[in-house]
Structure 1
Amino acid sequence: MSSHSPVTRRGLLKLGAGAAATAALAAAEPLAASAAEGRFELTAPATSLLWKKAMYDETVLQSFAIDNANGHIYTIQVRNGGGSDAAGNLCLTKLSLTGTILGHMYLTGFGHGVQIGVEPSGSSAYLWTETDGISDGETSRGSRLARFKFVNGQTLTTSSSALTKYSPIAGVDNTTCAIDPSTNRLIMRYYGSTGFRIAAFTLASVKAGAPSKLYDIDQPSGLGTFQGYAAYGNFVYILTGNSYEIAPEGNTYITCVDLRTGEQVQRARSVAGKSLDFREPEGMAIQIVSGAPRLCLGLASGVEKARKASIFYKTQLV
C-alpha cells in the first residue's frame, strides 16, 4: 500500500539518467525495510478476523492475500470438480473484510495456490500467482509467476493475453510468491538445485523484467508440511502443519526467518482457531490497519464439499 504517485513517462524524460534511476528506485520501494522495523512476537495471542466464511467454491482454502488499499481479501482454492488438483485448476474469490463474497475468477492450469500476493492499483487490484503448472499425476505446481488484473467472472488459461508472466530465477519450479506491503517487495519461494529457497526482489524491478534480487536464502529444513508464508520488512514468516485428520493434537507452527541471513529467529506453535473442525493451516498475509501491521494466518475447516475459511492475526512486535 502506498500513497506515492507513480513515476510518469513525462517526468522521467525531464530527469537526467541518474536522477531517473533514483526516482524509479524510490517508486519501487516507497518504504525502506527500516520503516518496517521489528518482527512479530509469535507467542502473542491471535485475534479472529474471519470465522468460518464460505468461498466461491467449496474446496479447502489454499492461501490468501489482503488488498490493504481497497479493503478486500482474495482467497484461492483448487477448483470444484474431479481431477482439478492434478490439472492445476484454481478458484480465486474476492471477499470483503467481513467475509462477504464480492466476486470470483477461475484459473486453468496454474498450479496449487500454495501462496498468492496482491498488488493494489487505484480501485483495482492485480493478483500474483504461480502459473504454467506442472503435474506429477496427483497435484500441480507452478513453474513461473503471473500477474493479472482481477476481473469478476473471468476464466483465465495459461495462454490468456491478460497474463504477464515472470521468471525472476530461471530454471526452477514450485514457484510461488507473496508481496510485502510494507516495502513493496516480491517474495518468491522456489525449488532449486539445493532444495527450497526464498528470495526477495523489488517489485518494480520484477515488473520491469530486470529483477533486482535483494536476498536469497535457504528455507530451514524440518519444519513440517509447508502451508504458506508472508514477509514484513526483513523477516519472512513460514506457516506449517496439518489438519486434525492427520495431526489430531494440532501441529500448526509459525517460523520467523531473517531474510538477510537465513537465520531462524523464532518458532512457535499456534492454537488459533483450535475449536475448528478439520482445522488445516493454509496461507499467510500482512494486513495494514491505520498504519499498524498484522500478521495473518488462514485456517480451513468444515466437511468435504462444504469447506470454510477463517483468518486470525497477531499484532505484537518486538
Structure 2
Amino acid sequence: MSGGKLSRRGLLMAGGATILAAGGAGALTVGTASAAVPGSKRFDLSKPAYDVFRKVLLDEKHHALQGMAFDTANRHLFIAQIRDGSPGDDLCINRLDESGKVTGKMHIDSAGHGVSIGVEPSGEDTYIWVECDSSGGGDDGRGTALARFKFADGKAPSGVKKFFTGSKTITCATDPVNKRILVRRKESGKFTYRLYDFSSIDVENGTFTDELAKITQPELGDGGVTFQGYTVFGSYLYTLDGDGHADQADINSFITTTDLNTGKVVERALTKAGKSLVYREPEGMAINQTADGEVRLCFGFASRTSVGNIDRYANVFHKNVLV
C-alpha cells in the first residue's frame, strides 16, 4: 500500500524510543469515536522489544508475511501471505508452532491482500477469519467480505460463512484475551474500525450485533504513511506503518496506540526491533497470551538474506510491558 514519509515534527525522545506527542501540531488527527469499551491497560511502546523468532521461511517463500493472529488456546500462530505465482490476491494461511516452525497451510483463492487476519479457537479446532471475494485479480485486489472457516491442513476452505458482503477493503483482527474481533473497512471513504464480542456474532445468519466501539482511523504524518497492520487489546487499537529499507538509517517503522473510546492517539513510537535484518519491512500485528499468562503485542518484519535475494523471511518481535 502506498503512503508518504512520516513527519518528524512533534517528535520527543523518551526511554530510547521516539514518541510522538498526541498534541503535535500537524502531525496527526484524532479519529471520531463512539464507544463505551471497558478501560484496560495498554502496552508501553517506549519499552524494549524482544524476539519471538527470526528468519523463518514460510510456505510461499518468495512473498512476505502479511497479517497474523494467535490461537492462544491451542498454541498456534497463523500467518497470511500472497501465494507464489499468484496475480496478487490468492492467499496462503500458514500455521506455525510457537518456535516458528510451519506445521500446516491452507490456500484461499481470490481473497485479497491479507493485511490482517483473525482466529477463533473452538475446542481443538481453529476458525480463520480472513477477507474474501477480492475486488480485483491483481496486487490491488482487496476483500469485499469476511470469511470464516475451520482450518484444515492442506485442504480448501469448506463450510465457509461470509459476513459484511459488499464491503470495500475489509479485514479484521482478534483479541484472544477479551475474545473480541475488530473489523476494519472503508465507510464513506474513511477507514473505520468496529469492535464486537465473539459472543455477539450469529454465525448461521451472518450477522454481528451489540457493537462495542466504532472509530475512524486517525491520519498519521503530514503526507500519510504506509499502513502495514493492526491489532486490538482491551480498549486500545494498535497500528503498524513504515516502509522496507536496506539502510538502517532509513528506518521509519512506527507503532501507534489509539484509544477506542475517544479516537485519540495516546502514543506513537519508532521501533528499531530487528534493525540488523536485511531489507527489513514491517508486516502484520497480533496479540498473544503465553501459557504463563503474559500478554504480548507482537509485530512482524519481512527480510531477505541479501537485497537481491528473492526469498522473504518472517521475523516476529513483541513488547510485553503494560501500563
Same-fold call, TM cutoff 0.5: yes
Taking a change above 3 Å as real, the CA distance of residues 74 and 82 of structure 1, as seen in their structure-2 partners, is closer
Give the drift of 1:181. 1.2
Distance in 1, matches of 2:215 and 2:85, equals 37
| 2:55 pairs with 1:60 | no
Q: Which amino acid aligns with 2:182?
A: I
Q: CA deviation at 1:128?
A: 0.6
Aligned to 2:172: 177
2:163 — aligned with what? 166
Residues 1:79 and 1:246: Cα distance change in structure 2 (over 3 Å): farther
Instruction: Considering fraction of residues, name the structure with more helix.
Output: 1
Q: 1:195 aligns with which of 190, 194, 205?
A: 190
Can you list the C-alpha shifts for 1:25-58, whole angstroms capped at 9, x where unaligned? xxxxxxx965x83100011100000111111111
Corresponding residue for 2:12? none
Q: Deviations over 1:173-198 (max 9, x none)?
A: 11000111121111011111041111
Displacement of 1:124 = 1.3
Q: For 2:106 and 2:242, how far apart are their aligned partners in 1?
A: 28
- Letter of the 1:42 partner, please give it: L
Contact 2:196 2:208 survives alignment (8 Å): no
Partner Cα separation in structure 2 for residue 186 and residue 82 of structure 1: 28
Contact residue 37 and residue 260 of structure 2 kept, 8 A:
no
My pick for the range that moved more, 225-234 or 197-206, is: 197-206
Higher RCO, Cα 8 Å, sep 6+: 2
Partner amino acid, structure 2, of 1:181: P
Confirm or deny that 1:72 pairs with 2:76: yes
The 2-side partners of 1:314 and 1:194 are apart by 33
2:42 matches 1:45? no
Match of 2:313 in 1: 308
The runs of 5 or more residues in structure 2 that have no matched partner are: 1-35
Q: Classify the secondary structure of the residue corresponding to 2:58.
A: coil
In structure 2, what is the Cα distance between the partners aligned to 1:138 and 1:110? Answer: 11
**Helix, strand or coil: the match of 2:250?**
coil
Deviations 1:147-186 (A, max 9, x none): 1111000134xxxx4211011xx75311000111121111
Answer yes or no: is the 8 Å Cα contact 1:126–1:150 preserved in 2.
yes
Q: Which amino acid aligns with 2:59?
A: Y
How many Å apart are 1:199 and its aligned residue? 1.2
Gaps of 5+ in 1: 1-31
Contact 1:166 1:206 survives alignment (8 Å):
no
CA RMSD of aligned residues (A): 1.9
Contact 2:113–2:139 (8 Å) recurs in 1: no
Corresponding residue for residue 215 of structure 2: 217
> What TM-score, normalized to structure 2?
0.81
Number of residue pairs matched by the alignment: 277
Q: Is this contact kept in 1: 2:120–2:127, CA < 8 A?
A: yes
Task: Name the CA shift for 1:149/1:236 in 2 (closer, same or farther; >3 Å).
Answer: same
